[in-house]
């Protein structure tokens, strides 16, 4: 399948502008997912520092930690709507600058927060407030970053360019896991729990300043400039049609969202609390899962430019549906070798990458320029709010109530099964936005 020749977003852009857009759009995603990964990897430590008063239950503290995690995700759609409308009205560049400042400030401050032992019940509230700010900024990040990457993409390369958003997610999670593993190696458990956990959050400050510098040098996208200059009609589809497209887009990526967070972020706490793995073992498994994820993302995006988004994403969703529980059972098997268990988590990450690679371009192509920032941002944020943000909470609480350690596999498989149905419609022109020829692939 090929893009229409008259697609205005696919007119050739300056190569240096395309590369700059790729870097500036990617760096915010790296920081966002680095922090979210760090929060997940240190969930048990954060639970003890902020959510577990003296004499409190460790499991209850972990559930509260994941509740704060989920709350931040539920503010993503708010951020997507707020910053998306701004980005569709005043431009992608100024809004992306604003969200990187907000994200950097909130994440850095987490590393400086007083704990429950110092300020009592105020500590979890302060942490939750900063998580809300992170959720707002993350909601505004995805739509703008993907809009910039795909609107600057050369002809026939949207899948490849969009895949870099997902690739930097993998890099961010790997970066967070690497920093956590390094600290767990060089610090003893007492130092790590006392102050070492703060260092990954404080590291966000120099990363954020570098991202800000890149975005200050970013140009506005060609399609937004043309629309603002009146060279193209400013097409705004009816709200009902946009809402339908957002709902369909969210269903198409829900498996990616749920399986991604299950295998890439929740895994460390699951291995520690349910399978009695050590912190180092859990982090090693997570690094392998994220490595598998990273290895397939860009090839999957590139392949989707050649054969279409549907076959690549469907393959990933079907594989997770079929393999999630068997792969999890391998981790639970006492007789399985470390090599076999390592291969299991590597494969789990790799199949999620098949959905994540083409996913950003697929969402971008569902919306015209005038509502793209808002539309694709909301579709992604809504799916992540429900199926990523709640993953840790749902899995931990369900295991607690049922005693079944297979819950993560069932969760990933069920959500991907729904995505299979939604992805089956991909490749047809949506009835809702059929007039938006510029964003469709035939």
Per-residue pLDDT reduced to its tens digit, 22-76 = 888 888 889 888 887 787 778 778 877 887 666 555 665 666 666 776 677 789 8
pLDDT, position 231: 58
In the chain, which stretches have pLDDT less than 50?
1-12, 429-432, 434-442
Q: Is 111 helix (H, G, I), strand (E, B) or coil?
A: coil
How many whole angstroms separate alpha carbon 148 and alpha carbon 90?
A: 14
Bin 156: left if φ > 0, else alpha if -120 < ψ < 50, else beta: left
Between CA 303 and CA 162 the distance in angstroms is: 12
CA distance 439 to 369: 8
CA distance 422 to 399: 28
C-alpha pair distances (Å), 75 with each of 14, 62, 128, 129, 347: 36, 21, 11, 11, 31
């Amino acid at each position: 399948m090929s893009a229409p020749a008259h697609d205005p977003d696919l007119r050739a852009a300056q190569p240096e502008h395309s590369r700059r857009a790729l870097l500036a759009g990617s760096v915010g995603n790296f920081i966002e997912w680095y922090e979210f990964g760090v929060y997940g990897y240190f969930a048990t430590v954060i639970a003890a520092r902020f959510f577990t008063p003296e004499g409190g239950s460790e499991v209850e503290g972990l559930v509260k930690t994941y509740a704060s995690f989920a709350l931040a995700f539920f503010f993503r759609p708010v951020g997507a709507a707020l910053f998306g409308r701004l980005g569709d009205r005043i431009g992608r560049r100024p809004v992306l600058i604003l969200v990187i400042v907000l994200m950097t400030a909130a994440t850095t401050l987490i590393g400086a927060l007083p704990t429950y032992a110092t300020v009592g019940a105020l500590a979890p509230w302060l942490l939750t407030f900063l998580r809300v700010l992170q959720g707002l900024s993350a909601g505004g990040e995805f739509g703008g970053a993907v809009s910039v990457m795909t609107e600057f993409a050369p002809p026939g390369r949207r899948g490849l360019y969009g895949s870099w958003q997902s690739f930097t997610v993998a890099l961010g999670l790997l970066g967070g896991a690497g920093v956590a593993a390094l600290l767990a190696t060089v610090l003893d458990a007492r130092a790590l729990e006392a102050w070492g956990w703060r260092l990954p959050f404080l590291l966000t400050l120099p990363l954020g300043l570098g991202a800000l510098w890149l975005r200050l040098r970013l140009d506005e996208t060609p399609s937004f400039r043309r629309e603002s200059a009146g060279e193209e009609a400013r097409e705004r589809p009816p709200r009902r049609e946009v809402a339908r497209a957002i709902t369909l887009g969210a269903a198409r990526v829900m498996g990616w969202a749920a399986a991604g967070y299950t295998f890439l972020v929740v895994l460390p706490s699951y291995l520690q609390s349910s399978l009695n793995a050590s912190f180092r073992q859990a982090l090693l498994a997570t690094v392998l899962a994220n490595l598998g994820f990273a290895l397939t993302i860009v090839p999957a995006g590139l392949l989707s430019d050649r054969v279409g988004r549907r076959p690549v994403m469907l393959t990933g969703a079907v594989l997770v549906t079929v393999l999630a529980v068997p792969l999890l059972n391998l981790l639970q098997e006492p007789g399985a070798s470390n090599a076999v268990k390592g291969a299991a988590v590597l494969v789990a990450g790799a199949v999620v990458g098949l959905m994540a690679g083409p996913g950003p371009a697929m969402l971008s192509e569902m919306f015209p320029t005038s509502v793209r920032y808002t539309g694709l941002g909301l579709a992604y944020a809504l799916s992540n709010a429900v199926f990523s943000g709640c993953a840790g909470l749902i899995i931990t609480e369900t295991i607690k109530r049922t005693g079944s350690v297979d819950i993560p596999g069932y969760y990933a498989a069920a959500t991907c099964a729904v995505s299979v149905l939604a992805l089956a419609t991909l490749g047809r022109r949506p009835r809702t936005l059929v007039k938006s020829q510029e964003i469709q692939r035939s």
